[in-house]
Structure 1
Amino acid sequence: MTDMLTGKVIFITGASRGIGAAAAHLFAREGASVVLAARSTEALGKIVAEIRAEGGVADAVTLDLADRAGIRTAVQKAGELHGRLDGAFNNGAAIQQPGPLDATSDEDIDNQFEVNFRAHWTAMNAEAELMRANGGGAIVNTSSIGSRRANPALPAYGAMKRALNSITETAAVTWASQGIRVNGITPGGTATEMIEEWEAATPGIKTRINASTPLGRMATPTEVAEVAAWLLSDRAAMVTGAIIPVDGGAGA
Structure 2
Amino acid sequence: MLQLAAFKALGPNVVTCSAAVSACEKAAEWQPAMALLRAAQLAGLELNTVACNAGLGSCQNAWQWERSLALLAGMRSGPLPDVISYTSAMTSCGDSGQWQVALSLIRELKARKLSPDFAALSAATAAAAAAGNTLAGDPAGQSSSWMAALQVHRELCQEGLEPGLSTYHSLIRACQQGGHWLGAVASLQQLSSQGGLSLDEVSCAAALSSCQASGQWIWVRRLLTELALGVNRECGGDAKKE
TM normalised by structure 2 equals: 0.32
Ranked by relative contact order (alpha carbons within 8 Å, sequence separation 6 or more), the top structure is 1
More helix by share: 2
Q: Work out which of the two has the higher radius of gyration on C-alpha atoms and give 1 or 2.
A: 2
